[in-house]
Amino acid sequence: MIRFTFKDLLAATGAMPRDAGAHDELRLVGVTTDTREVRPGQLFVAIEGPNFDGDRYAADAFGRGAGAVLVRREETARELPSDLAVAVAPDTVRALGDLAAWHRSRLTCPVLAITGSVAKTSTKNAAAALLSGVGHIAAAPKSFNNSIGVPHTLLLADDTTRAVVLEVGTSAPGEIAALTRIAKPVVGVITAIGHSHLEGLGGIEGVCEEKGQLGAELGPDDHLVLDSEGDFVDRLRSMTRANVRTFSVEGRGDWNARAVRDEVDHLRFEVTRPDGAPLQVAVPLIGAHNAANIAAALAAVDAMGFRVDELVSGLTELRAAPHRMQRIHIGGVELIDDTYNSNPDSARNAVRVLAGRKTASRRVMVLGDMLELGALAADHHRELGGLVAAARFELLVCVGDLGEIIAEGALAGGMPSDRVVHHATTEEAVAAVPARLRQDDVVLFKASRGLALERVVDAAATVLERGAHRAV
């Protein structure tokens, strides 16, 4: 992780020291924004969120061993003991980004940045699994993809790091360009352009323009990896000066996944490289859509200058990220927790996954609201209900206000009314869904983050573990 002096902090961020010159040579190791994670000698950066004020925790950070703190208000700085290293920056989130940009300028390892409407985390995890064979890497923990998470990941790297893997997200125009300027990746991946954050980005064309800023910030010696079959591939290609590489599934990509077999607990397929040589891939994941993510990761790691034929075995260690097609076998029932988030594209993938699962009992889909879809929200939810009806699942449970429109779409698509249930809130679903499950059911849960549908998964797992479920 980053090693720097207090003087470096001031130079990189423009922050003002409370006591000029007093702590210039103080050595710091690492950065955190969470006092619960403070380690001795770290810099604590006090950020402001909707429900917290980091300045209030500055004294606690010192108590836990922080070497210095960066706060937003001069009043906070004055209230802290006079012998401590304190700096002030009115916008500490921007200062965190400036420090990360300064640190990035000193790194010699390649940086990979991944964005897209779906599969950012899955593709990041696949790339990290491949790169685990080259030595120490810094990869985004969880979904660290915003103006706090991207700097955090960069600051994990040091002069022993062989590669950095970043996730870059957005919900408003300009965010991806700003994060890319901090990260200065040599390889970028745009997984897909889809129907997510439509409210903030002004429709799918706006999504394309915003995601395309990753490519726009790359230089002529850099590489951009795109889906050869994507609707916006030509537009994205026109936005970049970088060398473009493509991936696909049964398509025309430079890195093409084919013969995909979605087995009970593994995905097996072959990836043909640009030179025509095949790579055999077996990963302990479900969902044929993951073949595209892995093909994209292979293309990206190759573009970083690493030998993927020597690294592909690292994919055997790949595991589903929490709440992303995470399989739980308990009480004779298979629960598939895909509750991290949802949009029309990822929800379609979820329908396909459940449709492909084999069971002696029922395939049950629990779907909640897909948020931030703007004026098209009703249309997308109604269409999703129709897809579920066409898949002929034995039970559909819908949750939330927009979930009611999913139910309407399923009924309009011919799904029998006794197979469609609606709960107005997550709380109602927590109370009701576990009792509906039968032995050997396969149950897939999916909704936007705002619904916290993982609470229903947890409730079902608790009841099943006690053996308290009943056949209905």
Strand order in the sheet with 326-330: 326-330, 333-337, 442-446, 363-368, 395-399, 420-423
pTM value?
0.89
Q: Is residue 265 packed enough to be buried (19+ CB in 10 Å), middle (13-18) or exposed (0-12)?
A: exposed
Report the range of poorest mean pLDDT among 47-56, 59-68, 275-284, 333-342: 47-56
User: For residues 17 and 86, what is the distance between their CA atoms, to the nearest angstrom?
Assistant: 6
pLDDT at site 371: 93
CA angle (257, 393, 292) in 5-degree steps? 15
Report the CATH fold assignment for 326-466.
Protein-Tyrosine Phosphatase; Chain A (3.90.190)
- The confidence score (pLDDT) of residue 374 equals 87
Name the token pair of 98: 């400036």
**pLDDT at position 253:** 97
Pick the CATH number of 107-317 from 3.40.640.10, 3.40.1190.10, 3.40.630.30, 3.90.550.10: 3.40.1190.10
Which of 23-32, 353-362, 412-421 is predicted least confidently? Answer: 353-362
The mean pLDDT value for 89-118 works out to: 97
Beta bridge partners of 421: 397
pLDDT band per the 50, 70, 90 thresholds, residue 336? very high
Q: What is the overall mean pLDDT for the chain?
A: 94
- CATH code given to domain 3-89: 3.40.1390.10
Question: Which two three-digit tokens encode residue 278?
Answer: 């095949």
Q: What are 246-298's pLDDT values in tens digits?
A: 999 999 999 999 999 988 889 999 999 999 999 999 999 998 999 999 999 99
Q: What is the structure's pLDDT at 472?
A: 34
Task: Give the pLDDT band of residue 469 (cuts 50, 70, 90).
Answer: very low
Residue 20: count of CB within 10 angstroms of its CB: 9
Q: Is the pLDDT of residue 448 over 50?
A: yes
The pairing of beta strand 48-49 with beta strand 52-53: antiparallel
Can you tell me the distance from the alpha carbon of 176 to that of 271, in angstroms, rounded to the nearest whole number?
A: 30
Nearest to 251 by CA among 287, 291, 279, 280: 291
pLDDT at 471: 37
Pairing of the two strands 187-190 and 163-167: unpaired
275 contact partners, CB below 8 Å, separation of at least 6: none
What does the pLDDT read at residue 198?
73
DSSP strands (E only) in 101-254: 111-115, 137-139, 163-167, 187-190, 223-227, 243-249
Percentage with pLDDT > 70 across the chain: 99
pLDDT at res. 321:
86
Please name the residues in contact with 100: beta carbons below 8 A apart, sequence gap of 6 or more: 150, 151, 152, 154, 155, 182, 183
Give yes or no for residue 99 having a pLDDT over 60: yes
Band of residue 470 on the pLDDT scale cut at 50, 70, 90: very low
Distance CA 43, CA 27 (A): 10
Q: What is the DSSP letter of 403?
A: H
Give residue 360's pLDDT band: very low, low, confident or very high (50, 70, 90): confident
| Nearest one of 293, 294, 296 to 281, comparing CA atoms | 294
Digit-coded pLDDT (tens) for 124-142: 999 999 999 999 999 988 7
Q: What is the location of CATH 3.40.1190.10 in the chain?
A: 107-317
Question: What residue spans in the chain does CATH classification 3.90.190.20 cover?
Answer: 326-466
Residue 202 binned pLDDT confidence (cut-offs 50, 70, 90) = confident
Q: Could you give the residue range(s) of every CATH 3.40.1390.10 domain in the chain?
A: 3-89
pLDDT tens track for 208-245: 999 999 999 999 999 999 999 999 999 999 999 999 99
> What is the CA angle 368-122-190, rounded to 5?
100
SS percent in the chain: helix, strand, coil, step 5? 40, 20, 40
